[in-house]
């Protein structure tokens, strides 16, 4: 199949990869755009793996406020140079990450942050559930580990499905930007705030309140 400029343009718009990278991927996949996307993603992961050990001490602190000021996010995203930190691609990544955190409410940046104490508590809960449901002992461990992996995919930012494209994880989305910008990029930390979260609110008996108002 001939690789046309239109195909290259489509692939570039869908992936953000460079024009020559898109052309090579289409040639290697005989013009199959979907296979070319997958190839570029794998190449991006390889590029990110090579850059993972490089120091990322520049970057920005981003923010996002949602729902009329009821939910807010602050996060620090690091890269290697101030030049990249000021690019539209990096700034867009930070914005997308802040919006994702506001919507998905992760508890940890990566699974390395999940303490053994948290995992032990989760495993105990899942084991009790499996045993109480009558699962045989020889499959309980597999069930527990499967649920632990699900816990990671729900609680860990980099392993969550990205809200704007659930077909990729947050880490895969970051990896695509790494491949495009050529620098190591890491989410260092974040905080998510929700109005009233953690505050014990009084229970209001609205029916009684209305009766009092009528009686008054």
Instruction: Choose one of 34, 51, 68: the last residue of a domain.
Output: 51
Q: Which of 51, 68, 89 lies at the terminal end of a domain, its last residue?
A: 51
Confidence band of 180 (pLDDT split at 50, 70, 90): confident
Give the pair of three-digit tokens for residue 129.
């559930």
Residues 118, 121, 125, 131: is their CA dihedral positive or negative?
Answer: positive
Does the residue 207 lie in any domain?
Answer: no
CATH of residue 32's domain is 1.10.8.10
Angle at 65 between CA 61 and CA 71, to 5 degrees: 115
Instruction: Please state the φ and ψ torsions of residue 138, each to the nearest 5 degrees.
Output: -70, -10
95 occurs within a structural domain: no
Q: What is the CATH number of the domain that holds 133?
A: 1.10.286
Domain annotation covers residue 59 = no
Q: What is the pLDDT of residues 109-138, one digit of tens each?
A: 999 999 999 999 999 999 999 988 888 888
Q: Residue 77 falls within a domain, yes or no?
A: no
In a domain, 78, yes or no: no
Which of 65, 60, 62 has the alpha carbon at shortest distance from 193? Answer: 65
Q: Residue 214: its pLDDT value, please?
A: 57
How confident is residue 7, by pLDDT bands cut at 50, 70 and 90?
A: confident
How many structural domains does the chain have?
2
* Domain, as residue range, for 33: 1-51
Return mean pLDDT, the chain. Answer: 86
Q: Is residue 47 part of a domain?
A: yes
Out of 152, 180, 204, a domain closes at: 152
Q: How confident is the model at residue 104 (pLDDT cuts 50, 70, 90)?
A: very high
CA distance 99 to 203: 32
Q: Average pLDDT in the 77-83 region?
A: 95
**Torsion sign (Cα): 152, 65, 82, 9:** positive
Q: Is residue 129 part of a domain?
A: yes
> What is the distance between the alpha carbons of residues 119 and 60, in angstroms, rounded to a whole number?
31
Provide the β-strand partners of residue 184: none
Q: Is the pLDDT of residue 187 over 70?
A: yes
Which residue is listed with tokens 């755009």? 33
CB neighbours of 143 closer than 8 A, spacing ≥ 6? 126, 130, 135
Reply yes or no on whether the pLDDT at 216 is more than 60: no
pLDDT, tens digit, for every residue of 157-179?
999 999 999 988 999 899 888 88
Mean pLDDT confidence for 76-101: 96
Classify residue 79: in a domain, yes or no. Answer: no
């Amino acid at each position: 199949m001939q690789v046309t400029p239109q195909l290259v343009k489509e692939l570039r718009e869908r992936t953000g990869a460079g024009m020559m990278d898109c052309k090579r991927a289409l040639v290697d996949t005989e013009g199959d755009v979907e296979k070319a996307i997958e190839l570029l993603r794998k190449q991006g992961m390889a590029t990110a793996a090579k850059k993972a050990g490089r120091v990322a001490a520049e970057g920005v602190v981003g923010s996002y406020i949602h729902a009329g000021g009821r939910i807010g996010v602050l996060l620090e995203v690091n890269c290697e140079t101030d030049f990249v930190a000021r690019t539209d691609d990096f700034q867009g990544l930070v914005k997308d990450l802040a919006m994702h955190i506001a919507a998905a409410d992760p508890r940890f940046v990566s699974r390395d942050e999940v303490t053994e104490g948290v995992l032990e508590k989760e495993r105990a809960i899942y084991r009790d559930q499996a045993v109480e449901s009558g699962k045989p002992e020889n499959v309980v461990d597999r069930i527990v580990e499967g649920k632990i992996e699900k816990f990671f995919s729900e609680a860990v930012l980099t392993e969550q499905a990205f809200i704007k494209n659930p077909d990729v994880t947050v880490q895969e989305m970051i990896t695509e930007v790494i491949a495009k910008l050529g620098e190591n990029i890491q989410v260092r930390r974040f905080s998510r705030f929700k109005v009233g979260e953690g505050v014990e609110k009084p229970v209001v008996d609205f029916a009684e309140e209305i009766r009092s108002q009528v009686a008054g």
